[in-house]
Amino acid sequence: MNNTQEMVISLALEAWKLNINRADKLFDTFSDEQWQTDVALGRNRGIYLLGHLAAVHDRMLPLLNLGERLYPHLDDVYLLNPDRAVTGILTADELKLSWKNVNETLALGLDALPETEWLGRHNSISEEEFIKEPHRNKLSVLINRTHHMAYHLGQLALLKK
């Protein structure tokens, strides 16, 4: 590893953290009523997207080999089914807490990830496949999930008053 490479990885990591911070600031402004509102007429509610983001980030823990999932029970309501298909029992405050815990746990793992690991395979690809497709590495997961977060943040920002 050299300094330039270090720089490139830290750029991707900083971009991730920047978007997490933006999300946290935005989420702290929403009332329960705002969380229950559709981001646009007939589309997902804020609370669904919050649970969805928490679930997707939670899945990054095993995917990046950073540990077990904290909230696997989120998937059924917020990931595998569309909004309102399954009734969620968690409040926005509870989901926000899950979101924060997941991101804090991820941050510890990501900050401690040795630079040499970033270009290693993630856990959804076999060693055999990875030889043929070396771009399917841990860094690509981080980049892709940052875009996923930015995409839904754009939608959640529509709930602002």
- Binding residues (CB under 8 A) for a copy of itself: these are 1-2, 4-5, 7-12, 14-15, 19, 39-41, 43, 119, 134-135, 137, 139-140, 143-144, 146-148, 150-155, 157-158
Least spacing, CB of residue 159 vs a copy of itself, in Å: 9
Give whichever of 55 and 139 is closer to a copy of itself, judged by the CB atom: 139
Least spacing, CB of residue 120 vs a copy of itself, in Å: 11
Backbone angles phi, psi at 38, to 5 degrees: -70, 140
Residue 37 falls in which region: left (phi positive, over 0), alpha (psi -120 to 50) or beta: beta
- Alpha-carbon distance of 77 to 88, in angstroms, equals 6
Least spacing, CB of residue 38 vs a copy of itself, in Å: 8
Between the CA atoms of 101, 105, 108 and 113, what dihedral angle is there, to the nearest 10 degrees? -150
Give whichever of 12 and 97 is closer to a copy of itself, judged by the CB atom: 12
Structure tokens of 151? 């995409």
